Amino acid sequence: MNAPFQARAGLRDPFTAFVCDDSTADMLRPVAVEHGWSPEKVNKGGLRNAVQSLSVSASPNILFVDLSESADPLNDINALAEVCEPGTIVIAAGQVNDVRLYRDLVASGIHDYLLKPFTVDQLRDSFAHAQTILSGPRGEAQADKPHVMSAVIGVRGGVGASTMATSLAWMLGQNANRSTALLDLDVHFGTGALALDLEPGRGLTDAIENPSRIDGLFIERAMVRANEHLSVLSAEAPIHQPLMSDGTAFFQLQEEMRNAFESTVMDLPRHMLIAHPHLVHDAHVAVVVAELTLAATRDAIRILAWLKSNAPQTKVIVVANGVPSGGSLEISRKDFEQSIERPVDVVFPYDSKIAAQSAKLGKPLAEIATGKAAAPFNLLLSMVLSHASEDGASGAIQKSAGSKSLVDNLKSMLAKPKAKAA
Ligand SMILES: Nc1ncnc2c1ncn2[C@@H]1O[C@H](COP(=O)(O)OP(=O)(O)O)[C@@H](O)[C@H]1O
Ligand SMILES: [Mg+2]
């Protein structure tokens, strides 16, 4: 699912339907007109056509989909979830009268299931309820998941900051079930897209050159989707000319990502920290990545001090990455901790095998690291979430760091009904 948002540029339609038979279409069209929607948005082809169409176009606010021709509705809804953008309210109709299916569909994030044949009034009721949700506060998801803004800062180049940023963003999506943005601020040499086997696109470069264009729609178009939970804004800006920015673009990108996603991970090269100190002001958490070397110790001291005076409200997590297992350390962990006057929070051992595999497969390290190797990643994720939730702004943040079910995946993809079955 590497389809970039660019492929689905365009404003969201208020309504689209994919039905299986003429009588359903005939019932839907006038009701659509009553709501001010175009009757031409009632298409044939049912769920299958819905999946095909939505994979190449923007998702509507309200989607009506007929499951009558689907042999395995629950499974097919999964396919729909993959192409449907978050926020769409899905109303399904079908002929299977089975309360278990109904419950499963609702648990998957389907707003309503209309058993065929249904009446015009049932249809109107369902649309009316969907509209109340759309016009209400932006969904439950955002209410129980306040935004988590994190910055990952390498104390030196090559210590694995981008590796950590990509992994953290991936885990926030996959394990914590949050829609997540990865903002790669290494504008010329960023690896955020590369590490996920994506083309970076021109989005970030465009944003910097023309910050006034940045809004919600811009974000939707410019960001490249890595999976259903993770979108990336990264660049390989041309290196024959410097990109000039007074920082407005970055500030605005942060702002828009806060609106559009449940978490943001900024891959923040240290020179960007110096040029644009405001970038960390709104971060709940700063993950400072170091290695156990003399130079990294010196720079860790300086960057930690900088954070203390420039962003005192930001919680800091110190990561020691690439720590060799033998005794061949340039500086011991104890000496490192003494020098930086605080403990190391998470240690990632040097592991060339998973690093190589991660690069070859175009998958984040956290996805490759299983078993024992997953432990530091899980610790990092839970620390980021708990630090962010300690922050007054961030209320109850889900702390689960395990893998999650298909149903959870679907739930985050599709808009949730208000009174949803557990
Ligand atoms: N724990 C680790 N063990 C082995 N190699 C690692 C580890 N962490 C990162 N690397 C490798 O180090 C290289 C530099 O990582 P990167 O994240 O790009 O660093 P930075 O962004 O700090 O410059 C990459 O090739 C990455 O695969
Ligand atoms: Mg980097």
The domain ranges of the chain are 15-136, 141-416
Q: How confident is the model at residue 12 (pLDDT cuts 50, 70, 90)?
A: confident
With a 6 Å cutoff on the Cβ, whether 157 touches ligand 1 is yes
What is the mean predicted confidence (pLDDT) over 321-332?
89
Residue 284 has a pLDDT of 95
Residue 325 has a pLDDT of 86
Residue 370 CA to ligand 1 centre (angstroms): 17
Q: From the CA of 156, give the closest atom in ligand 1.
A: 22
The pair of three-digit structure tokens given for residue 28, joined into one six-digit string: 């839907």
Closest ligand to Cα 352: 1
* Residue that wins the pLDDT comparison between 269 and 8: 269
Has residue 39 got a pLDDT over 60?
yes
With a 6 Å cutoff on the Cβ, whether 158 touches ligand 1 is yes
For ligand 1, atom 12, name the residue with the nearest CA. Answer: 160
What is the mean predicted confidence (pLDDT) over 78-105?
85
Residue 368 has a pLDDT of 95
Alpha helix segments (H runs only) across 291-372: 294-310, 333-340, 352-361, 365-368
CATH superfamily of 141-416: P-loop containing nucleotide triphosphate hydrolases (3.40.50.300)
Residue 389 has a pLDDT of 81
Lowest mean pLDDT among 135-139, 265-269, 329-333: 135-139
Question: 3-class DSSP state for residue 390?
Answer: helix
Closest ligand to Cα 157: 1
Q: The tokens 């690069």 sit on which residue?
A: 359
The pair of three-digit structure tokens given for residue 202, joined into one six-digit string: 């021109």
User: In the CATH scheme, what is the code of domain 15-136?
Assistant: 3.40.50.2300
Has residue 113 got a pLDDT over 80?
yes
- Compute and round to an integer the Cα radius of gyration of the chain: 23
CA dihedral 278, 193, 259, 165 (to 10 degrees): -60
Q: Give the type of residue at 202.
A: R
With a 6 Å cutoff on the Cβ, whether 161 touches ligand 1 is yes
With a 6 Å cutoff on the Cβ, whether 163 touches ligand 1 is yes
What is the mean predicted confidence (pLDDT) over 313-319?
96
Q: The tokens 């926020």 sit on which residue?
A: 87
Has residue 1 got a pLDDT over 70?
no
**Whose CA is closest to 145, among 371, 398, 421, 342?**
398
For ligand 1, atom 24, name the residue with the nearest CA. Answer: 160
Has residue 377 got a pLDDT over 80?
yes
pTM above 0.75, yes or no: no
Lowest mean pLDDT among 44-53, 116-125, 185-194, 238-247: 238-247
Lowest mean pLDDT among 16-20, 218-222, 352-356: 218-222
With a 6 Å cutoff on the Cβ, whether 166 touches ligand 1 is no
For ligand 1, atom 23, name the residue with the nearest CA. Answer: 158
- CA angle 362-364-368, nearest 5°? 95
Please give the share of the chain, as a percent, with pLDDT higher than 90.
60
What residues does 91 pair with on adjacent strands? Answer: 64, 112
Has residue 407 got a pLDDT over 50?
no
Residue 10 has a pLDDT of 45
How many whole angstroms separate alpha carbon 37 and alpha carbon 35?
5
Residue 365 CA to ligand 1 centre (angstroms): 9
Q: Give the type of residue at 56.
A: V
Has residue 93 got a pLDDT over 90?
yes
Residue 393 CA to ligand 2 centre (angstroms): 29
How many whole angstroms separate alpha carbon 392 and alpha carbon 389?
7
Residue 157 CA to ligand 2 centre (angstroms): 7
Has residue 290 got a pLDDT over 70?
yes
Question: 3-class DSSP state for residue 197?
Answer: coil
Alpha helix segments (H runs only) across 263-313: 270-275, 294-310
Q: What is the mean pLDDT of the chain?
A: 85
Residue 158 CA to ligand 2 centre (angstroms): 7
Closest ligand to Cα 368: 1
Residue 161 CA to ligand 1 centre (angstroms): 7
What is the mean predicted confidence (pLDDT) over 265-271?
96
Equal fold, 15-136 vs 141-416: yes
What is the mean predicted confidence (pLDDT) over 110-119?
90
With a 6 Å cutoff on the Cβ, whether 322 touches ligand 1 is yes
What is the mean predicted confidence (pLDDT) over 167-194?
94
Closest ligand to Cα 195: 1
Residue 229 has a pLDDT of 94
Residue 137 CA to ligand 2 centre (angstroms): 37
With a 6 Å cutoff on the Cβ, whether 162 touches ligand 1 is yes
Has residue 180 got a pLDDT over 60?
yes
With a 6 Å cutoff on the Cβ, whether 359 touches ligand 1 is yes
Residue 410 has a pLDDT of 42
Lowest mean pLDDT among 205-209, 238-242, 304-308: 238-242
Best residue among 152, 162, 163, 293 to mutate for probing ligand 1, ranked by most atoms within 8 Å of CB: 163
HSE-CB at 159 with a 13 A cutoff on CA atoms is 29
Chain segment 159-175, per-residue pLDDT in tens: 999 999 999 999 999 99
Q: From the CA of 163, give the closest atom in ligand 1.
A: 17
Closest ligand to Cα 158: 1
Residue 412 has a pLDDT of 45
Residue 45 has a pLDDT of 94
* Residue that wins the pLDDT comparison between 326 and 233: 233
Q: How confident is the model at residue 135 (pLDDT cuts 50, 70, 90)?
A: low
Q: From the CA of 359, give the closest atom in ligand 1.
A: 27
The set of residues, in sequence order, having a beta carbon less than 8 Å from that of 92 and lying 6+ positions away, is: 64, 65, 66, 67, 73, 77, 105, 110, 112, 113, 114
Residue 368 CA to ligand 2 centre (angstroms): 19
Q: From the CA of 164, give the closest atom in ligand 1.
A: 17
Has residue 402 got a pLDDT over 80?
no
Residue 398 has a pLDDT of 36
Residue 187 CA to ligand 2 centre (angstroms): 10
- Where in 202-327 does DSSP place strands (E)? 224-227, 230-233, 263-267, 285-290, 315-323
